[in-house]
């Protein structure tokens, strides 16, 4: 086999770049956890000054700073020997509430790498690797990386897009987040001082001060009985519908929980976007559904099992007793590019 030296060098450059990025990924978390970025953002510093301010060892901080400067994560001034952060680096590395929080993404990536052996094994057996089997870093990283998106958009864009939902919330409406998981959305609403809040689901991990109802199987007939007759002005079910074996029953139960005229905010993967349509046309499956890890021995909660065709969701909503106020698409423009569909609905008398 003949080797083209130029192509080989191109490939090796790429590989060395990838290897450097992978090896250095942990250093971003080191910088975050020890407060190195946060303190360095205040002013340019020499290594021993940064070490003193953060209670760390100069020898380590010195090497860390060199690596960070080589990787473009901090700036180095050869005249003074001082290191600093540009406003852009500080924005992405020190503000957990900013639009992009890079350390969260690195925690997610490093957590995902911990599953390498399980994934390799799954290639041999054909069995799945469940979302719940990931390292804790995946969950915490996900939450920290996506939280700023919720924080930046919830009040600025999403709530105003929902007709009178914000006014209702500000007037003290009670809200239930159904299938809330870690309760990110509820946490944000609490911080903003919104009404009475409840998280419902199988596993529920909501911030202190929010009531919760755990071990509710949202696929079961009559699960709303477990909530004890309470009615809600706003029901939220984000990225849950596609996990359920019985989505119609789910909507019927949501309707039972809705106060008169109550709102339902429903989001789910938009299977009508172009990527999904092409995936179906070419490979016979919608993007995000029945992927390589699909395994029917796997806990259902972790799988996307209901393909939410919009016509069907509309039909189910109407039969369950909801009218659609508006439909929006998130993370991309319109139905063709948005990856998530958001249906804003209002409870009505059943037809
Ligand atoms: C993709 S997560 C979405 C979590 C949250 N709503 C969000 O947007 O961040 C799907 C959630 O649905 C829950 N879930 C799926 N199937 C369920 C079932 N049958 N009963 C109860 N919860 C279920 C999972 O436990 C998980 O919390």
Nearest-atom index, ligand 1, CA of 184: 9
Give the model's pLDDT for residue 285.
81
Strands (E), the chain: 75-77, 82-84, 174-178, 196-200, 211-213, 232-238, 258-269, 322-330, 340-347
d(CA 61, CA 46): 10
Per the CB < 8 A criterion, the answer to whether 297 and 304 are in contact is: no
Give the percent of the chain with pLDDT over 90: 48
Give the model's pLDDT for residue 292.
57
pLDDT in tens, 52-102: 999 999 999 999 999 999 989 999 999 999 999 999 999 999 988 777 789
Q: At 282, is the pLDDT very low, low, confident or very high (cuts 50, 70, 90)? A: confident
Question: Could you tell me if the CB of 302 is within 6 A of ligand 1?
Answer: no
Per the CB < 8 A criterion, the answer to whether 262 and 347 are in contact is: yes
pLDDT in tens, 202-238: 888 888 778 899 889 998 999 999 998 899 999 999 9
Is residue 297 predicted with pLDDT exceeding 60?
no
Domains, the chain, in order of start with CATH, read: 5-94 (1.10.10.10), 159-347 (3.40.50.150)
d(CA 314, CA 177): 21
What is the DSSP secondary-structure string of 147-214? HHHHHHHIIIIIHHHSTTHHHHHHTT-EEEEET-TT-HHHHHHHHTT-SEEEEESSS--PPTT-EEE-
* Element housing 8 (H / E): helix 5-33
How much distance in Å is there from the Cα of 243 to the middle of ligand 1? Answer: 7
Give the model's pLDDT for residue 338.
86
pLDDT in tens, 153-193: 776 667 766 666 677 777 777 899 999 988 888 888 887 77
Question: Could you tell me if the CB of 239 is within 6 A of ligand 1?
Answer: yes
Per the CB < 8 A criterion, the answer to whether 211 and 238 are in contact is: no
Mean pLDDT, the chain, as a whole number?
A: 87
The residue that leads in pLDDT, 269 or 142, is 269
SS3 content of the chain, % helix, strand, coil (to 5): 50, 15, 35
Per the CB < 8 A criterion, the answer to whether 276 and 335 are in contact is: no
Q: Tell me the whole-structure pTM to 2 decimals.
A: 0.64
d(CA 90, CA 44): 12
How much distance in Å is there from the Cα of 159 to the middle of ligand 1? Answer: 21
- CA-nearest residue for atom 17, ligand 1, is 301
Closest CA to 345 of 244, 319, 332, 202: 319
Question: In the 3-class helix/strand/coil scheme, how is 92-116 assigned residue by residue?
Answer: HHHCCCCCCCHHHHHHHHHHHHCCH
- For 56-92, letters b (16+ CB in 10 Å) and e give beeeebeebbebbeeeebbeeeeeeebbbbeeebbbb
**How many CB atoms lie under 10 A from the CB of residue 199?**
26
Average pLDDT of span 335-341: 88
Which of 17-21, 80-84, 95-99, 115-119 shows the lowest mean pLDDT across its residues? 95-99
Question: Could you tell me if the CB of 203 is within 6 A of ligand 1?
Answer: yes
Residues in the chain, overall count: 351
Per the CB < 8 A criterion, the answer to whether 182 and 214 are in contact is: no
């Amino acid at each position: 086999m003949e080797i083209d030296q130029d192509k080989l060098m191109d490939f090796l450059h790429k590989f060395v770049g990838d290897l450097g990025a992978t090896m250095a990924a942990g250093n971003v978390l080191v910088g975050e956890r020890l407060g190195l970025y946060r303190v360095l953002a205040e002013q340019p510093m020499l290594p021993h000054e940064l070490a003193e301010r953060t209670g760390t060892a100069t020898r380590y901080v010195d090497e860390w700073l060199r690596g960070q400067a080589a990787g473009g994560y901090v700036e180095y001034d050869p005249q003074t020997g001082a290191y600093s952060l540009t406003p852009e680096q500080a924005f992405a590395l020190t503000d957990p509430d900013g639009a992009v929080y890079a350390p969260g993404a690195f925690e997610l990536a490093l957590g995902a790498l911990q599953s390498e052996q399980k994934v390799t094994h799954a290639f041999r057996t054909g069995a799945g690797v469940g979302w719940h089997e990931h390292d804790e870093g995946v969950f915490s990283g996900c939450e920290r990386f996506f939280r700023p998106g919720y924080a930046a958009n919830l009040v600025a864009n999403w709530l105003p897009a929902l007709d009178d939902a914000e006014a209702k919330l500000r007037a003290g409406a009670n809200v239930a987040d159904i299938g809330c998981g870690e309760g990110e959305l509820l946490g944000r609403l609490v911080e903003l001082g919104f009404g009475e809040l409840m998280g419902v689901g199988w596993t529920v991990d909501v911030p202190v001060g929010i009531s919760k109802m755990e071990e509710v199987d949202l696929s079961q007939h009559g699960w709303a009985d477990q909530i004890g007759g309470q009615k809600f002005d706003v029901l939220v079910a984000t990225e849950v519908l596609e996990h359920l074996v019985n989505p119609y029953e789910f909507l019927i139960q949501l309707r039972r929980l809705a106060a008169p005229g109550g709102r339902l905010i429903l989001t789910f993967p938009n299977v009508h976007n172009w990527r999904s349509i092409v995936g179906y046309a070419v490979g016979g499956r919608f993007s995000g559904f029945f992927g390589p890890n699909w395994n029917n021995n796997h806990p259902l909660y972790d799988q996307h099992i209901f393909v939410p065709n919009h016509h069907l969701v509309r039909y189910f909503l109407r039969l369950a007793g909801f009218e659609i106020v508006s439909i929006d698409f998130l993370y991309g423009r319109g139905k063709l590019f948005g990856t998530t569909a958001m249906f804003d609905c209002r409870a009505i008398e059943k037809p």
